[in-house]
Every structure is written in C-alpha cells, then in structure tokens.
A = this chain, B = another copy of it.
Amino acid sequence: MQPVPARAGDPLDTIETPALCVDLDAFERNLDRMADATQGMRLRPHAKSHKCPDIARAQIARGAVGVCCQKTDEAAAFVAAGVRDVLVTNEVVAPRKIARLAALARDATIGVLVDSTDVVPVLSEAARAIGVTLDVYIEIDVGAHRCGVAPGAPAAGLARAVVAAPGLRFRGLQAYQGAAQHLRTPEERHAAIATAAEHARATRAAIVAAGIACDIVTGAGTGTYRLEQSSGAYDELQPGSYVFMDVDYGRNTLAADDVRFDQSLFVLSAVMSAPAPERVVVDAGLKAFSFDAGLPIVHGWPGLEYRKATDEHGILAVAGGASPPRLGEHVWLVPGHCDPTVNLYDWIVAFRGDTVEAVWPITARGALG
C-alpha cells in the first residue's frame, strides 16, 4: 500500500501528485440525485466503480439496499468493512472462490449469478457445507452478448435447477445490458433497453409459469437506469459510475428528462518538465489512468490538452496564446474511464472547496480474485 497523498485539513495545493481526488460537493450531489431519481425502486449501486467502503456507506445511508461487486475478493472487502448485503454480479466458477464466497454469507446476505447448471451443485455444496444460504440470480443475455443464458425457456430450466438445490435461494434475474451504457444517443439506448426489458419480462413470465417465484429483476447502469426504471420490468438498479462520472460518459447525449451527474473524480497531476513553449509534461501517465476509453482531459485550464502518455509521463500541448502551468504547478485531469482508473490507486483524496476533508482507502483495489 502506498503512502497517503494528503491528510484531512490539508489545503489542496499541498496534495502529493499524482493523486486520485473526489470533489465532495459534486459527489454528494450525484448521490442525492440518484437517490431521488430512483425513489420507489431498490437501488444497489455497483461498488466496482469505487471499491471504497466509505463510499458504499454513503450510498447505503441514502437508501441503497446494499452494493454490487464484480469479484469474490471485492465482495470480501466490503463485507469485512461492514456492508451487510452484497450481490456479486458475475459468475463464480472456481470451487475455492465459491467456498470463499459462501463463507461471506455467514456475515452478510450474499448473492451470485449463474448461467450454467454445471455450477449449481458446487454452489449448493459449498453453502450446505457451512450451513449458509446463497442468493442466486440467473443471468440472462439481454443483448450485450457477454455472459448469460438465453432468455425464456433456458433461463426457466436453470431456475428449476437452482430451486431444487439445497443451500441456494433463487432470487430472480440479472438482466444487465452493459453494451447499452455508452450508446451515444438516447434513441439508441432506448431501443436497446426496450429489448432488454422485453427479454426480462418474458423470462420472468416463463419462470412464474413454471411455478417459481421470481422476485427481483436487477440490472442497469449509469447510462440507462432511467430506461430500466420506466420499463416496469426491473425491480432493482445497479448504476456505479454516477458517483464519479468520466470523459466517456460525458460523450453520451442525454435525453431532456435524464438526470445530469457532475464530474466529481479527478487525477491531480503536477508539471515535472516544461521543456518548450508548446509543451509541458505532467507526472500522470499510463500508470495513473486507464486509457481503454481514450485520453484524460484537462480540467479548468483553457488551451491545455492532454495529448499523449508514456508510463509515468503525460504530455500536454499548450495552445498558442495560452498561459501554461509552471514547473511544479498542479493540473487537474478528468479520467477517460473511471472504474479501471480508480483501481490504480490506494487512496481517494476527498476534498471540499480548497481543503482536504478525508482520505479514503480504496480497500478493494486490485481485488481480481
């Protein structure tokens, strides 16, 4: 674990760079707006975005039923931190991982996805062996073509296997359309979620027709949660990135009635070299950002553009006439993709105005297992 880049009470200009920072005013507005927007639904925010128990607690304090995680070890970090309801929105297959997952159910409600009958007896045996119950959701492929069984009859068949397995409690369906989150126009997103909702509805009907209760259809992300909500097919929403936002989400065109979330996440960098009038170099490169969704952008410095990264360097172009930052000066950058960028840091510096208010550990950083 790396040293903390700041301490509560520090002025912003003393934060050690590069540092992952969150603007608490924007962050809290985002949490409040999502809580308001999802009134009447179960909100289970995705903790893969932040990996930070302090943030999970802030979400739960505003009414979230618990969190989603993506990996067993991520779930373990949140349960250890006191979160009492975690859904792993992923298939867990390896018997040792399943055993770890089942052990978490001693202290918390733990859900997990299945999309294959092969795993059902392994989950069942792991739960029975230690006398716990695991909640199981069947993942259906609602159009993203990643994991998931086909909607309708195949899902109903799998539900039957889960219901018959001791130690497992069939809870419902995971119907997440990941590929829809970054479709750029409201029309494209609307069409994708209309299809997803239709699959979810038909699958629930098939399961109920088989005499099995299907209580919870869960899914949705920051890009589409309003559509899942208004579809009537979903009971629970899983947005994650809304707490932070990023350059890539900023590229989505919003519909008139979409809630706007503010950019709260930044990487604070500093100029380490100012070798030419048209170029400065900051200390945040390929190890300070995930570049899968493109380059970071410079925040609040007109005429300055992040052009290229190497491992530990960010090369910024200075437009003609712009006044560049001096050697050592701070430059605020907005990550291209928040989730995998957060995963590069051990700490989030939470600030309000000009002052650091807290430094939160990113407890589940690197939790791949």
Contact = CB atoms under 8 A, between A and B. Distances in A.
Interface of A: 1-3, 5, 16-18, 48, 70-71, 73, 90-94, 96-97, 115-116, 118-119, 141, 145-149, 178, 270-276, 279, 281, 283-284, 286-288, 290-292, 309-313, 315, 327-328, 337, 339-340, 343-346, 365-369
B287 A343 contact: yes
B279 A292 contact: no
A70 B311 contact: yes
Contacts of A178: 310
B344 A313 contact: no
A272 B91 contact: yes
27 contacts: A2-B73, A2-B366, A3-B73, A3-B369, A5-B369, A18-B369, A70-B311, A70-B312, A90-B272, A93-B328, A115-B275, A116-B274, A118-B327, A145-B279, A146-B315, A147-B275, A147-B313, A148-B273, A149-B275, A284-B368, A286-B340, A287-B343, A288-B368, A290-B290, A292-B309, A312-B368, A344-B344
B275 A93 contact: no
A271 B91 CA distance: 10
B141 A275 contact: yes
A16 B91 contact: no
B327 A368 contact: no
Nearest to A337: B286
Contacts of A283: 71, 368
Taking chain A's interface residues, is the majority helix, strand, or loop, or is none over half, making it mixed? loop
Given A16-B94, A270-B94, A274-B116, A340 B366 contact: no
A147 B94 CA distance: 47
B327 A346 contact: no
A368 B282 CA distance: 12
A271 B119 CA distance: 12
Given A115-B275, A286-B337, A313 B71 contact: no
B345 A366 contact: yes
Contacts of A91: 272-273
Contacts of A71: 283, 312
Contacts of A286: 290, 292, 337, 339-340
Given A48-B312, A93-B327, A270-B93, A281 B146 contact: yes
